[in-house]
Amino acid sequence: MPISLRSLLGLALIALVLAGCAGGPVGSGTQRSSPGPSASALLDKAQDQSPAQAAQSRLQAADILARQGNDEQALNVARDIDTSRLNRGARIDWALLVSDLSLRKKGGRSALAATQILSDIDNLPRDAQQTLRHRRGLALTLLGNSRAAATTLIDLQRDGAPFELNDDIWKPLSRLSVNALDDMADNADSLTQGWVALARSYRQSGGNISRLTDSLSDWRERYSSHPAARRLPGNLSALRELRGREVTRVAVFLPESGPLTNVANAIKTGIQARNRAALNQGERTPQLTYYDSSAGNLEALYAQATMGGAQVVLGPLDKELVSRLEQRDAVPLPTLALNYGKHPRNLADNLYQYGLSAEDEARQIATRARMDGHSKAAALVPDNEWGARVLDAFKQSWESHQGKLESVVHYAPKGPVSDAVKRLLNAGKNGAHNEDIDMLFLLALPRYARQVPPMMEYYYAGDLPIYATSQVYSGQPQPRADHDLNDVMFVDIPWLIPDAAMGGEKALPFYATYRNLDARSNPNILKLNAMGVDAYELARRLPLIQALPSMEVFGATGTLKARDDGRIKRDLPWAQFQAGVPAPLLKGLSVPDIGDVTLAP
């Protein structure tokens, strides 16, 4: 019977509290041992010990802190250990401890670094080896390296791991594009081919519950001995209860006049394009009925939609209307609003909210920068309401990860960049600048952003890493204009950075729809079209999202998942300017040294 990783960890670490400072056993094991020293006593003792003894004492202290629930302190202690001073057994215990604590805090890079011991030490005990391989797969999933994560975990399942892996395999596997799945299946064994076929069935269902359950039945007949046939991943297993709840009618609330008309038209184009493509591919698609929301009479709109037999509402777009909806106890029909309300939380049952929020990007940047080891940020944002909102999102996320915001400048978008950068860095006539800053959060449009790196270089801060929102990129490759942005890291929707995000256009989600829209759209319109595509996909999957909160949609605007209050969170792919064009942020996933990575999430 499969056993839990927690049990394995407990067995692996119990020796730590029995070990002497030099790593040897104490007592015979038949005598009742007295209570050991406290973590603080061990850390104090380490100050006066030899390097090898101090490393062992700190490892014992970290384990005690972890068992007391002081994960953050335990990680900090573990990070300071000179692992070269630990003996073989203690190094394995250190790797088990750090990888476990890191995953608890969603620290993918530090967990991955701890699993480097798999390559450094030969003939690891089987339990420890399998546990660390599992954690490597989980860490790769956290880091977004879905192909490597799925491969790692499938290999572990093939080797007979004594714990349940189906849900862990499914999470990264279900994120892969059809092209990536095809690559995985080439020359693969039956185990991998079965997993790939299951993921293909899921992707090709297009959110249609009946179609998916039918294809799952076919798959189980074909792969009856597969581990997933014996126990489907949790998300897929729950779908049986949803059969018959397909969305067949969608009411779309969009304005036909007023200041949001052009935005609404671009979103509508995306909705219609995706609907046509789904029909052409043989999918069962919902009937779309459009209602003019310009007058803002929500009660009348919902009444019309209900009379028309709608099961789901898509819209409204106006922020004020969404703000009104989110303060209700519930909405008359399950609704996917096309904007985010202005209140701290969405309070209405059955109300979901989705949009192209720069605030989501700011939060993602904060998380990534902390994972990259930075802790003292500077921020350069426009002096307007938009800049204040996005900065607040970055600041809250950054500080929740124990980062410090050392310097903030609200710049005038038409003002001189040199003045803003000088204030940001506190640079004086001698060129000295704030040495505490270790990263820059940049919110700026391309024309302004292109001037920032040269100014940073002028003030002797050219090596400061810059993390930017999608606004830094115009959406079209301009090598000459964007040359000064080289090395700037940013997030953007997959449809605008296909080479950097996906390895090429053909790997993009909803590629056929993308090709139909791309030929006639400028980047700003294409981004709104992509929002319409994903809104359509979210709307027809709303029963799935309601039943399976952990469900993700791999969309044109990012990987989409509902938060606990119904607001849709977007995770966007990363890119980095190289030779003036967006390129993959990491050409290969390197494993950083544990001392160089932050252990906070």
Mean pLDDT, residues 556-560:
93
Q: Which two tokens stand for residue 317?
A: 């777009």
* pLDDT in the model for residue 208: 67
- Quick check: 322 pLDDT over 90? yes
Could you list the residue range(s) of the whole structural domain that residue 211 is in?
39-242
pLDDT number for residue 533: 97
Mean pLDDT of 228-252: 83
Q: Is residue 129 part of a domain?
A: yes
Per-residue confidence (pLDDT) for residue 600, from 0 to 100: 31
Q: For residue 552, what pLDDT band results from cuts at 50, 70 and 90?
A: confident
Give yes or no: residues 90 and 199 share one domain: yes
- With cut-offs at 50, 70 and 90, classify the pLDDT of residue 339: very high
- Residue partners of 210: CB distance under 8 A and separation at least 6: 243, 244, 246, 284
Residue 71 has pLDDT above 50, yes or no: yes
- What is the spatial distance between Cα 490 and Cα 266, in angstroms, rounded to a whole number? 24
Q: What integer is the mean pLDDT of 519-537?
A: 91
Contacts of 510 (CB under 8 A, 6+ apart): 274, 277, 533, 537, 555, 556
CA–CA separation, 272 vs 269, rounded Å?
5
Residue in the structure block whose two tokens are 């700190």:
58
Per-residue confidence band for 554, with pLDDT thresholds at 50, 70 and 90: confident
How many other CB atoms sit within 10 Å of the CB of residue 414? 7
pLDDT (tens digit per residue) in 387-407: 999 999 999 999 998 899 999
Q: How far is residue 87's CA from residue 22's CA, in Å, rounded to a whole number?
A: 9
| Tens-digit pLDDT profile for residues 13-61 | 333 333 333 333 223 233 333 467 899 999 999 999 999 999 999 999 9
- pLDDT, tens digit (0-9, with 9 covering 90-100), for 464-491: 999 999 999 999 999 999 999 999 999 9
Quick one: 373 and 340 in the same domain? no
Q: Tell me, what's the pLDDT at 448?
A: 97
CA distance 543 to 335: 11
Which range among 17-31, 105-119, 533-547 shows the weakest confidence by mean pLDDT?
17-31
Do the beta carbons of residue 57 and residue 44 sit within 8 Å? no
**CATH code (residue 392):** 3.40.50.2300
Q: Same domain, yes or no, for 115 and 179?
A: yes
User: Which residue would you say has higher pLDDT here, 548 or 92?
Assistant: 92
Q: Does 29 fall in a domain?
A: no
Residue 11 has pLDDT above 60, yes or no: no
Predicted local confidence at residue 596, as pLDDT? 30
Q: Quick check: 546 pLDDT over 90?
A: no
The pLDDT value recorded for residue 34 is 42
Residue 567 tokens read as 């607001």
Q: Are residues 171 and 296 in the same domain?
A: no
Q: For residue 441, which of 361, 527, 524, 356 has the smallest C-alpha distance?
A: 361
Least confident range from 356-370, 428-442, 541-555: namely 428-442
Give the residue carrying structure tokens 């005690």. 64
Percent of the chain with pLDDT over 90: 66
**431 — pLDDT class (breaks 50, 70, 90):** very low
pLDDT at 428: 45
Model confidence at 594, pLDDT cuts 50, 70, 90, reads very low
96 and 128 in contact (C-beta within 8 Å)? yes
In this prediction, residue 126 has a pLDDT band, given cuts at 50, 70 and 90, of very high
CA distance 118 to 120: 6
CATH number at residue 188: 1.25.40
For residue 513, tell me if it sits in a domain.
Answer: no
The pLDDT of residue 104 is above 60: yes
pLDDT above 70: residue 564: yes
Closest listed residue to residue 81, CA positions, set 51, 115, 120, 116 = 51
Top pLDDT among 167 and 590 is at 167
The answer to whether residue 117 is domain-embedded is yes
Q: Residue ranges of the alpha helices (H) in 336-472?
A: 358-371, 385-400, 417-425, 446-449, 452-458
pLDDT for res 35: 62
Indicate whether 587 pLDDT > 50.
Answer: no
Location of structure tokens 């309601």: 546
Assess whether 259 and 379 both reside in one domain: no
Burial status of residue 566 (CB atoms within 10 A of its CB: 0-12, 13-18, 19 or more)? buried
Q: What is the pLDDT of residues 127-177, one digit of tens each?
A: 999 999 999 999 999 887 889 999 999 999 999 998 899 999 999 998 887
Q: Under a CB-based contact definition with an 8 Å cutoff, are residues 12 and 96 in contact?
A: yes
* pLDDT score, position 31: 37
Specify if 502 maps to a domain.
yes
- pLDDT band at residue 520, thresholds of 50, 70 and 90? low
How many helices (DSSP H) and strands (DSSP E) are in the chain? 27, 15
Q: Using 50, 70 and 90 to split pLDDT, how confident is the model at 549?
A: confident
**Residue 264 belongs to some domain of the structure:** yes
Q: Is residue 124 domain-shared with residue 228, that is, in the same domain? A: yes
- Could you tell me if 45 and 125 lie in one domain? yes
Same domain assignment for residues 215 and 111: yes
Instruction: Kindly report, residue by residue over 280-320, the tens digit of the pLDDT.
Output: 988 889 999 999 999 999 999 999 999 999 999 999 999 99
CB 12 within 8 A of CB 92: yes
Considering the domain boundaries, does residue 13 fall inside one? no
Number of domains in the chain: 3
Q: What is the pLDDT of residue 434?
A: 65
Residues 185 and 197 in one domain: yes
Q: How high is the pLDDT of residue 592?
A: 35
Instruction: Examine the fold and report which residue of 195, 227, 242 is the final residue of a domain before the chain moves on.
Output: 242
**Residue where a domain terminates, one of 223, 242, 261:** 242
Instruction: Mark whether 283 and 230 lie in a shared domain.
Output: no
State whether 212 and 188 are in the same domain: yes
- Domain-ending residue, one of 194, 211, 242: 242
Do 192 and 205 reside in the same domain of the chain? Answer: yes
- Mean pLDDT of the chain, nearest integer: 86
Kindly provide the residue ranges of all beta strands, DSSP E only, lying in 204-346, ordered along the sequence: 249-254, 287-292, 312-314, 330-337
Confidence label for 244 from pLDDT (cuts 50, 70 and 90): low
80-83's contacts with Cβ under 8 Å and 24+ in sequence apart are 80/595, 81/55, 82/51, 82/55, 83/55, 83/594
Is residue 128 domain-resident? Answer: yes
**pLDDT of 341-390, one tens digit each?**
999 889 999 999 999 999 999 999 999 998 888 999 999 999 999 999 99
